[in-house]
Structures are given as structure tokens and as C-alpha cells.
Chains A and B, each alone.
Chain A
Amino acid sequence: MSSSENLKKIILMGLLSTSVSIMVLGQAAPKLADDEIASVAVVANQSDIDFAKIAKQKSKDQEVLKFAETMAKDHQSVIDQAVALVTKLKVTPKDNDLSRKLTADATATKKKLQAASASSFNKTYIDNEVGYHKAVIAAVEGVLIPQASNPELKQLLENVVPTLKTHLEHAEMIQKTFASK
């Protein structure tokens, strides 16, 4: 790996951890109602489905394609359950600062993925998946679960955490194979 790639990686990880810190720690952590939490949950899952769609268009690596397929299916499954729950609870997901920030970040990430060259795409996608899942896990555990007031919404969020952690582990497994190539 070149020094500029190393530098990019360090900067990327720094930005991600900063964004997680802002979202999760200290007084900057937003106060969210259940309808806003529902919106954040849907946006976070939809963003990863969108990243997976780009991976399915651009990658030719079987492991990456398999991972992207799993991301698309699993996150859609979570969205379906979130939608079923908010429908049952008669809650309409409401846009808020955190969901808007996630949308803006996702737009920037999609641009970066679309712009990545064929030779660098797989690594760019998987590195992003590792960082993204770390950030989302921190947000769900640090903000969404503690602030959810409806017990069924809280339970759904708690049920999603093991899925996110397994996705992170899977992404890290693929990341290691890239490092050893």
C-alpha cells in the first residue's frame, strides 16, 4: 500500500470516528423521539443497501458480491420490520438532524464509490463497510436504544445489533484477505 493510500485510510478512519464521537458522546448527542429514531433506522439501513447496489454493479470479486448481496437482503429485512412496527404503532418516521446527516454522508459515500477505479473499488467498498458498521453500531447502542421510549422499538433496535456486529466481522474478514494480497 502506498503512503498516500495509508494517509487516506488514516484520514477516513479519523473522520468516521469523529462523526461517531459527535453522534454518540457528550452534549452533541441529539435527543430523539421515537418517530425520529425510526427515521434514522430506516435511513441507516437504506444507505447500506444503496452502497451494496453500487458494489453489485462495479465489483467482480465473488466474496465482495456475496457480501453485498447479504447486506442488501439483511438491511431490507430490518427495514421491513421497522416499517411493520411503525405501521402497527401508527408512527410516521420523522426527518431530523441525525437522519439528514446520515443521508448527506451516504450521498458523499456513494459518489466516492462510483468514482473509485476498478482496481481500487473492492477495497474502498469494504473499508467503508467496516467504518460504516462501526459508526452505526455506536449510534444504535449509544443513542437510539437508550433514547427509544416504546419497548417494541427498543427491542427491535436491540435485535438489530447482533446482525450489525456480524456484518462488521464479515467485512473485517474480507478486509484481512485484501491486506494479505
Chain B
Amino acid sequence: MRCPGFLIILFVNLLLMGCSGGPSKDTHHPRTLFVSIAQMKFMPAELHVNSGDTVVWENKDIVDHNVVEETSKEWSSGVISKGQAWKMAVTKNAVYFCSIHPAMKGKLVVE
């Protein structure tokens, strides 16, 4: 009899779909988003991300910069030289600034 085999496969498939939340549910793939540093500004100054997304800061300016979490200095890029970039996976909201040029500020908002 072939019927029981078919039913077993169907059952296993349904079980797997149940475990993974089903095909209709959105499976979030981390994205890579870019912040351009140019004309002494972070662009965009406020970036909305999903938790786990990677943000790449690209220094397109005429001088060196860095990126430092402002409130508790939780993370810091080190110097990002002209023409260089630095990236980080983002998991929580942050207000950041360039400690070399403290007037430059940016914000990450986790949706």
C-alpha cells in the first residue's frame, strides 16, 4: 500500500511548516544599509533598521571621521579614514556622533 507512505510525508511536511511558523509568515533576512559621511554630515541623519541589520558608514568626506555611541560610549568605530568604511550589526536604538567633530550627530532607530 502506498497511501500510508504519502500520509507520513504529508504529516512530516506539515510538522516542519508548523515549526518554522509556516510559509506565509515573513522570514526576516538581515539587510545591509548605508550611511554616507559627506559634507560633515551623516546622511541619512536618522536611519530606521530592523534588529540584526548591518549598517555601513562610508566616509566620502575630505577629512577623517569616526562613529561613537553617544550616551554611554557603548560602541565606537575607531578612525574611519577618507575613502574607508566601517560596519556594525544593529540590535538597539542609538544616538551617535563623530567624536572628532562633536557637532556631527546621527540616530539609529530599530523598528
Contact = CB atoms under 8 A, between A and B. Distances in A.
A150 B89 CA distance: 43
B73 to A, nearest CB: 14
Question: Chain B's interface: helix, strand, loop or mixed, by majority?
Answer: loop
Contact of A159 (B41, B62, B101, B104): B62
Interface string A19-30: 000000000000
Interface stretch (A46-54, A94-102, A130-138, A161-169): A161-169
Interface in B86-111: 100-104
B80 interface: no
Chain A: interface residue count, which band?
10 to 19
A163 B40 contact: yes
A68 to B, nearest CB: 12
A154 to B, nearest CB: 15
Contact of B62 (A81, A167, A170, A173): A81
A160 B63 CA distance: 10
Interface in B8-27: none
Given A77-B82, A159-B39, A166 B101 contact: yes
B40 A77 contact: no
A64 interface: no
Given A70-B101, A77-B82, A162 B64 contact: no
Given A77-B63, A78-B62, A159-B62, A165 B101 contact: no
B40 A170 contact: no
Contacts of B82: 77
Contact of A173 (B63, B64, B102): B102
Contact of A73 (B40, B41, B61, B63): B63
A144 to B, nearest CB: 16
B10 to A, nearest CB: 64
B103 A173 contact: yes
Contacts of B62: 77-78, 81, 159-160, 163
A74 interface: yes
Nearest to A81: B62
Interface of A: 70, 73-74, 77-78, 81, 159-160, 162-163, 165-167, 169-170, 173
Given A166-B104, A170-B101, 5 more contacts: A74-B63, A77-B62, A77-B63, A159-B62, A173-B102
- A-B CB proximity, top 5 nearest: A169-B103, A162-B40, A166-B40, A162-B39, A74-B63
12 contacts: A70-B101, A73-B64, A74-B63, A77-B64, A78-B62, A78-B63, A81-B62, A162-B40, A163-B62, A165-B40, A170-B101, A173-B103
